[in-house]
Structure 1
Amino acid sequence: MTIQLLLIDSYDSFTFNLVTLFRDLSVRPEITVLPSAHLTPAYVSSHLFPALLAKFDVIVIGPGPGTPLQEDPDMGGIPHLWHAIEKYSTGSYRWVPPVVFGVCLGFQWILLRNGHPVVRLPSPRHGLISVLDVTEEGQKDLYAGLDGKEIECVRYHSLYVQYDIDFAGNHDIVPLAWSRDENEEGLKVLMAARHKTLPYWAVQYHPESVCSQYGADILENVFRMSKEHTILRRQWINRVLEQDHIPLLKASILERQDDLETFLRDRQHRCKVLHKWPHQSAKRLETRDKQADIAAPSLFQYIIDLPNNVNVSQFITELCEHVFEFSGVFSLLESAAAPGSWSYMGFNEDIPHRFTYYIPDPFLTETSTLRPQAWSVNSIDDVWELLASVMDVNISQVIQVGRGPNNTDLRISLDELKETVTNSRENGYDEWPSFFGGLIGYVSYEAGVVGGLNVRVDQESPAEVPDIDVTFYTRSIAVNHKTKRVFIHTFEEQNFVTIYRSWILRVAECIELLPEVRRARGCPPKERAMASLAKFREKKVPGEIQLPDKDEYLCKIDRAKEYLASGDSYELCVTDQTVIVEKGSLHDGSGDTNISFKEMRSDWAFYQQMKASNPAPYSCFFRSKKSALIGMSPERFLRWDNNLGECELRPIKGTVKRTSKTTVEEATAKLKTPKEQAENLMIVDLIRHDVSQFCEDVEVSQLMGVETYKTVYQLVSVIRGKNMRPGVTGPDILRGSLPPGSMTGAPKKRSVEILQELECHRRRGVYSGVSGYWDILGHGDWSVVIRSAYSVGGQGTDVERIWRIGAGGAITALSDRQEEWDEMNTKLEAALRIFQDV
């Protein structure tokens, strides 16, 4: 007998962790996840609803933001569902009800419906761990088989149930476990209960959290205790279908079954897969298909081994500067500090294929010629679909230049290259690059809000820079920091072979002449006549700086804590922006098409200053016509490998300033406090939920480890997803997981809506979005845009250029106002140092 389970999702950020917990039980239920808002009064009151109740053996009322005291909108369609269950369990429709299991919000709802008040806790318990005090009844019920074991549970709630038999007026609810916390002002809080006569169970805590214990055991007990009830219910429904004594109910169950399946299929949560989206921009795709039919490109690869004593950081700086002289504007993704081990550079000849999109414009712009082209889109979903079509490159063969016998070209198939790279990764080595060409750029915070959460962005706050800005690179260089090996790549149609080979060989020649390479080989440096990008600006640029207002920031913290106390959120990542105004143009009159040498040199100088003062594993340097992004992010958002069907995320929550007097032990003690660990735990559970929608297996390979960076100590966790679901690729996970949970809080959707209000609907822009690459061979790596600065303007005489630096912190119920202000400034200082002359 396959158990049919309906999980009602109240837009919580932990729902799919519950799905995983139920899925892995011995009964292996078939699970349908349905958003609570889709259970409308019109649907529940229709004749279709009995078919839904008949279909499912178990109904799970999941967690979510808000309060059961405010049915609309916090509870969505749950009250309508409950009323229908009660209706069809009495009178002429009397039948055997489904099994019900409530979690957190579901727990509060079930007990409230049975007469027990729901009120605020003296102090919210968000991401905090409690030990259960199991009752005698609980030891025979939910917690059977766990006698004598100390059971830790993770709590995410600011409201609690006042269990009071006299107030309820009945004895229907049986307590199964209480909290055993001594720091709750002597208050014992009910953590688990069941209905005395009906098959209803509920827990206040989150059994699906990574730090909750024995979650699977208590659910196994639920199915064990309800087995006979489920069998009896199935028999009752079958009798209804075989007999005519309840004709209306029978007709509803039988005749509406197809309609029910359509309803569930249309409304239940499903991940969007790029290649399954409707091709709204068919003309665009057909054009690319015709181009692809003319000549399938070849991938050219040239490998150089550097001396062991070479300074890789200095080498990358010199390489970018010198290749810029004959290849023009580039993008750089540099691992300037551990644990990163690869750096990638993207180059293009003349004007690159650059794709930009502004919310809510109805078009995607491509700049690949002197005249930009605009492609019609109905939504941001179409933008992602178009980018997927751009990345659909059919490489015909791989030519390793000069790697064959007698230094001849060695030709291999694309499958052979992929197999070599995949085998290396499976064996734990990182010898081959993950970027052979493709898209490099950023996706803004607002693009994630709209595309990942379907939350509207206030149109009164227009975008200063594109919300999606990516460039398609056909020429790239990859540097392995550990093996000191350089990979030079190009790909294009066959008739460009000579040009692309000459570019590879020119880069190879340039590498051998770099001062750092010659020094490492014991050779004197070559004199060069051309000016270097490394020269800092000859004079300071006058300007002004606008720092966050302390009183305003503290006010936002206070308002955030009120939302935490009301149950609307567990954690809110409140941010603010610093504005730096550079007065006077950097434009040198060289034309409107290209970026001037003076402009490029100015931003490159900023990047070098930032790297010197605060090196980070996910550094970036992007320069386009109207904006620049320079950053030293310590946080990986998402890395994927489609060939292995795996992905990895490394959220950071918890920061301690690093000084000459601060030891690792002292920093660890500060980061291992309940407040810091609660911040990190909430985001870990949120990310597990996001990834579980796309991968069969999700594991936490590192939970709250302390990592050391040049200016700070950070609390870092590592979540890995394996076995991507059929049809899912890395870009699906990227799109579906934005914006980064470490920059929003949890539950993500409600937290984002609250943050828009707290931050006065001011766009965050690039800050707290993501930057990285999407590779043509199935890889990707994106970091969270923090410890970064981006610019707007500066084109033309006497035009001001605006730089923005975002910073903030996660506000929890345990946050101290002054400490949060200090932490925000610690993060701000790391990026602000580059503007010491302003």
Structure 2
Amino acid sequence: MGSLQTEEGPRVLYIDAFDSFANNITGLLEQRLGAQVTLVHTDNATIDRNFLEVLGAVDGVVVGPGPGHPANPKDVGFINKLWALEDSHLLPVLGICLGFQSLCLAHGAEVVRLQRPRHGIVTKISHRREGIFSGLVGLEATQYHSLHADIGGVVDGDAVSWEPTSRCPALRPLAWDEGDVLNGPILMSAQHTSKPFTGVQFHPESICTTAAGAELITNWWAEARDWLFRQGRSASKVSISRWLPLTGNGENSSAGTCGVSHLAQELRAIVGPGDVALCWERYSAPRHLTPTALLDALGYHGEEVIVLDSQGNGAGRYDILGLVVPEKTMKVTYSVSDRTLRYGSGAGRKCSQRLESIDEIWPMLQESLDLHAPCNETDENTLPQDIPFWGGFLGYISYEAGLETIDVEPHTSSRVPDINFAFVHRSIVFDRATSQVYVQSLLPQDMDWVLATGNTIATAQGASPPPDSCHMSSLLAEATTKRPSAESYRSKIRECQKYLHSGDSYELCLTDSSTIALPSNSDPWSWYLDLRKRNPAPHGAYMHLSGVHVLSSSPERFLRWTREGVCEFRPIKGTVKKGSGAKQVTRAEAEAILWTDKEKAENLMIVDLIRHDLAGAVGAANVWVSQLMKVEEFATVWHLVSVIQGKLGGAGGKNKGASGIDVLKRSLPPGSMTGAPKKRSCEMLSRIEGGPRGVYSGVLGYLDVGGGGDFSVIIRTAVRSAEEAGTGKGEIWRVGAGGAITVQSDEEGEFLEMETKASSVLDALFGDVKKA
């Protein structure tokens, strides 16, 4: 069936049980049916109190997936009211996953655990082309469930019933999964025999569900419309919005508050009145000149600086040096522990502001960028359009800051700021594709610095001078490392498995931390030079800012958006170490390992989660997957990589004129470091891990005054804070590592994966350090 064309489209109430795929489903409803979808959560007290009036304002209801059990009121909220409606208030309802289980439970089914949960598994669905399956061919669908509805429809071990059973006489089975040897046949769909209630266990919106899944949605509405016509029922003219709070949805996040203007004005005062102009020059890079060598030539050894460094990796094109200028560069920090924003450009210009929540920060950043958009005689051709950064904010957002964006209570004992940015006026950008170096400044009358830097480029040596190996060796001789024990980590894996089997999560990205204690203060720059040499990655970084050192060799892009409004995520799930010599793993061997059900399921779950996050900002119609689970080669490993893209401010977007910052804030913390559903998974991980992750698992990158942005996921990274250095007792470095735990995970394999990831940094930086 094709899409239903109506003048306005049906009004659909979508009930979200705090899942991480809801925006994919609502997008499918909008695109297939032209539906006007209103999303509410299961704990919405106003909807609960005015339930019948709300239902009277819509044509149908879709009850979505979510974590937990349908018998738990905390998990389903007011959903069960639907199944108890009087005939006069009935309306079409489609239940998906948890919504389907709730429908079945209310009509006599038992909802019990599967012997092996099915998370990210794609299977063939058996049906008789009846009801919502009418005309469907070749339906393969993604499943995300630990529980299943048992209606007593399986006889003699594996034969299934297509008729109502004695246990559930009001439910007619419509579809089964008959291909699971361990679990046996699993009910995939059922329809009420007399009421307009239908449900499916699988996910029609998943990227790996075949096109028949979308056709099923069209079929559901065709049946629902026919039922409404036969009943002579139509939705009232009352708008459902009267029962919804004003949330600001659909408005650009850059709308200001009083705090916005103060931070922006302080920043704008640095460059003075008048239009902001970008001073810049382009130079040919001497052969073999590296960004680290140029920094050494500029005398930035030990100074505050931020380097986004492709580390010579072929997958990276640009290197960005963000220079911190004393008394000019404004540093901006935020801590979740006291919800205080602090900013200043020098000893005499420091400000602090207590915020209600982290949500107040994003419009401050956006307005600051907007006020610094270069206006080079209003001619965009006088700007270096070939490079992605002209100046702006450089720094990181911690994992705990991300937790606050999704209303998960973070651990508050982190030793570092949770947002740590510098507004960079002076920067240098290497374009490796063209061997050009761009020197640029947003400061007024700063051309002398640009030209002087150009002279330094012309005379700089090709590589950084070697570090003091004797000093480093003496430090390492007395250093000790503390790493997670095998039993401790395996115990945490078992805790994760309990939640996965109970239906509370599909995937949990478990992490742990190693510490390296040095007897005296080290030279972080020297450590970084070793890291970029031994473990090069396309999204490396060195950051020394506000008392924090970050040394990163991340292989994973989190989010990039261009000035033209195209945004991109590149999640990595699935890793194989390349090895060397006769034991080196070939591409074919890596593909054979990574194209297993376990690895594909991990990647698929994160792809669907990111589609949801991105659709929440730009609308599902403006989201597409341009690469699904492709094996890519890195310096020391093979990874399974997907690419999800979207268009900012596109037609049908939920937020008209949505910016890259809107996408950024809606996507934190990175889905590849949380699991799904994101909120419930993060809550459980917080309990299991027992402490803050800090910088690790956050994101690091830039916000460009020209409108672009680019952030990596902070993995394969070592972090040192000022609180743990300079005290006379040496210093402590922290290295996080982990992996995605699924029901298919093996304890030993997961521990070894975590160890391998941690070792890629520990060995590169600190070599053979003795264990505590």
TM-score (norm 1): 0.84
CA distance 1:288–1:439, shift in 2 (3 Å): closer
Take 1:342 and 1:182, find their aligned partners in 2: how far apart are those partners? 48
* Residue of structure 2 in register with 1:836 after alignment: 767
* Residue of structure 2 in register with 1:758 after alignment: 688
Matched residues, number: 733
Which of residues 343, 350, 355 in structure 2 aligns to 1:377? 355
* Residue of structure 1 in register with 2:297 after alignment: 322
* Residue of structure 2 in register with 1:248 after alignment: none
After superposition, residues 621-636 of structure 1 pair within 5 angstroms as 621-636=542-557
* Residue of structure 1 in register with 2:571 after alignment: 651
* Residue of structure 1 in register with 2:181 after alignment: 183
8 Å Cα contact 1:619-1:633 kept in structure 2: yes
8 Å Cα contact 1:271-1:693 kept in structure 2: no
Q: What SS does the corresponding residue of 2:638 show, helix, strand or coil?
A: strand
Take 1:43 and 1:143, find their aligned partners in 2: how far apart are those partners? 32
Query: 1:294, CA displacement in angstroms?
Result: 2.1
* Residue of structure 2 in register with 1:102 after alignment: 95
Take 2:57 and 2:499, find their aligned partners in 1: how far apart are those partners? 38
* Residue of structure 2 in register with 1:125 after alignment: 118
After superposition, residues 301-380 of structure 1 pair within 5 angstroms as 301-306=280-285, 310-311=287-288, 314-325=289-300, 328-336=303-311, 337-351=313-327, 352-371=329-348, 372-380=350-358
Take 1:191 and 1:671, find their aligned partners in 2: how far apart are those partners? 28
8 Å Cα contact 2:111-2:150 kept in structure 1: yes
CA distance 1:271–1:716, shift in 2 (3 Å): farther
8 Å Cα contact 1:5-1:57 kept in structure 2: yes
* Residue of structure 2 in register with 1:812 after alignment: 742
Take 2:140 and 2:430, find their aligned partners in 1: how far apart are those partners? 46
* Residue of structure 2 in register with 1:769 after alignment: 698
Take 1:837 and 1:121, find their aligned partners in 2: how far apart are those partners? 45
Take 1:10 and 1:417, find their aligned partners in 2: how far apart are those partners? 51
Take 1:682 and 1:630, find their aligned partners in 2: how far apart are those partners? 29
Query: 1:270, CA displacement in angstroms?
Result: 3.8
Which of residues 498, 503, 520 in structure 1 aligns to 2:449? 503
Take 2:699 and 2:351, find their aligned partners in 1: how far apart are those partners? 25
Which of residues 720, 744, 756 in structure 2 aligns to 1:791? 720
8 Å Cα contact 2:109-2:167 kept in structure 1: no
Question: What per-residue deviation string (whole Å, max 9, x for no partner) do you get for residues 327-352 of structure 1?
Answer: 95321001121322111111132243
Gaps (5+ residues) in structure 1? 239-252, 399-411, 422-431, 518-530, 587-601
Question: What per-residue deviation string (whole Å, max 9, x for no partner) do you get for residues 13-65 of structure 1?
Answer: 0111101111111x311111111110x3x7534xx433211111110000000
* Residue of structure 2 in register with 1:437 after alignment: 391
CA distance 1:465–1:370, shift in 2 (3 Å): same
Take 2:512 and 2:727, find their aligned partners in 1: how far apart are those partners? 30
* Residue of structure 1 in register with 2:279 after alignment: 300
Superposed CA RMSD in Å reads 2.3
* Residue of structure 2 in register with 1:694 after alignment: 617
8 Å Cα contact 1:324-1:330 kept in structure 2: no
* Residue of structure 1 in register with 2:67 after alignment: 65
Q: Which range moved further: 648-657 or 617-626?
A: 617-626
Take 2:586 and 2:743, find their aligned partners in 1: how far apart are those partners? 28
Take 2:768 and 2:298, find their aligned partners in 1: how far apart are those partners? 29
* Residue of structure 2 in register with 1:12 after alignment: 19
* Residue of structure 2 in register with 1:143 after alignment: 133
Question: What per-residue deviation string (whole Å, max 9, x for no partner) do you get for residues 101-141 of structure 1?
Answer: 01000010001111111111110000011111113xxx132
Gaps (5+ residues) in structure 2? 1-5, 154-163
Query: 1:801, CA displacement in angstroms?
Result: 1.3
Q: What SS does the corresponding residue of 2:560 show, helix, strand or coil?
A: strand
Say whether residues 1:568 and 2:569 are aligned partners.
no
8 Å Cα contact 1:107-1:202 kept in structure 2: yes
Question: What per-residue deviation string (whole Å, max 9, x for no partner) do you get for residues 737-782 of structure 1?
Answer: 000010010000000000001102x000000000000000001000
Take 1:237 and 1:739, find their aligned partners in 2: how far apart are those partners? 42
Query: 1:635, CA displacement in angstroms?
Result: 0.5
* Residue of structure 2 in register with 1:525 after alignment: none
Q: What SS does the corresponding residue of 1:276 show, helix, strand or coil?
A: coil
Query: 1:297, CA displacement in angstroms?
Result: 2.2
8 Å Cα contact 1:281-1:386 kept in structure 2: yes
CA distance 1:133–1:796, shift in 2 (3 Å): closer
Query: 1:799, CA displacement in angstroms?
Result: 3.2
* Residue of structure 1 in register with 2:710 after alignment: 781
Query: 1:216, CA displacement in angstroms?
Result: 1.2
CA distance 1:338–1:81, shift in 2 (3 Å): farther
Opposite residue 262 of structure 1, the aligned amino acid is: R
8 Å Cα contact 2:331-2:546 kept in structure 1: no
Q: Which range moved further: 377-386 or 115-124?
A: 377-386
8 Å Cα contact 1:124-1:159 kept in structure 2: yes
* Residue of structure 1 in register with 2:438 after alignment: 487
Opposite residue 24 of structure 2, the aligned amino acid is: N
Say whether residues 1:580 and 2:545 are aligned partners.
no
Q: Give percent identity, aligned residues only.
A: 35
Query: 1:282, CA displacement in angstroms?
Result: 4.9
After superposition, residues 76-87 of structure 1 pair within 5 angstroms as 76-83=77-84, 86-87=85-86
8 Å Cα contact 2:151-2:167 kept in structure 1: no
Take 1:373 and 1:536, find their aligned partners in 2: how far apart are those partners? 42
Take 1:806 and 1:365, find their aligned partners in 2: how far apart are those partners? 27
Query: 1:486, CA displacement in angstroms?
Result: 1.2
Say whether residues 1:455 and 2:408 are aligned partners.
yes
Take 1:11 and 1:277, find their aligned partners in 2: how far apart are those partners? 29
Opposite residue 409 of structure 2, the aligned amino acid is: R
Take 1:20 and 1:65, find their aligned partners in 2: how far apart are those partners? 21
8 Å Cα contact 2:420-2:546 kept in structure 1: no
8 Å Cα contact 1:637-1:784 kept in structure 2: yes
Question: What per-residue deviation string (whole Å, max 9, x for no partner) do you get for residues 234-282 of structure 1?
Answer: x4458xxxxxxxxxxxxxx78xx47x52322537x94774213544455
* Residue of structure 2 in register with 1:115 after alignment: 108
* Residue of structure 2 in register with 1:707 after alignment: 632
| Larger fraction in helix | 1
* Residue of structure 2 in register with 1:605 after alignment: 526
Take 1:534 and 1:583, find their aligned partners in 2: how far apart are those partners? 18
After superposition, residues 391-402 of structure 1 pair within 5 angstroms as 391-395=369-373, 397-398=375-376
